[in-house]
Amino acid sequence: MKTTFPLVMKVGEKLKNIFLEAAMNYNKMSDSEKAEANDKIRENVKEIMKPRPKTEREKELDRLAKEEKEEYERNKNAFYADPIHWNNNKRRRHGLSVLRGSVNKYRSKKYPAFYPSVKFFGRLDDIITETLEDNFKNNEYFNSFVEEKRFGSW
């Protein structure tokens, strides 16, 4: 990640400067130039947003996320099927004795929230790092989105 961060800052500063310059010159542009610029931006956004086939790593990440979610759902359903975790009103409705004292106070009543595993986060981090590095090296997304034009005397 150490090599990626300065690269992100450099590209971010370049984009920021391009957008600032375009914003300052926007009032100086004619209506036809504004319409042309807006159309070009729309086309480029559509191109970026166009669906593309998933890579093997993305498919693996989807599979891993699906497996983890299914396992979580199975464990959660098993947790709530166990009568020890029911509230006392539900226990009464099913003819069970109510729990009192420390047994009731310290028992788990809610199943813990879903947290992705370390393996999942590791794979996700690898994919994000790889994608960012590829895009920064190729300048695929950052050079085609905005064309720099000089307006006026500067």
For residue 24, tell me if it sits in a domain. yes
**Residue whose C-alpha is closest to residue 15's, from 138, 132, 149, 148:** 148
Q: Structure pTM? A: 0.52
Q: Are residues 48 and 62 in the same domain?
A: no
Structure-model confidence comparison of residues 60 and 9, the more confident one = 60
Q: Does residue 132 lie in a domain region?
A: no
* Number of domains the chain contains: 2
Q: Roughly what angle, to the nearest 10 degrees, separates helices 118-138 and 4-25?
A: 50
- 99, with CB counted inside 10 A (0-12, 13-18, 19+), is middle
Range of the domain at 90: 54-115
What is the per-residue pLDDT for 46? 76
* Chain segment 64-81, per-residue pLDDT in tens: 999 999 999 999 999 999
Q: Determine what percent of the chain is predicted with pLDDT higher than 90.
A: 16
122 found inside a domain:
no
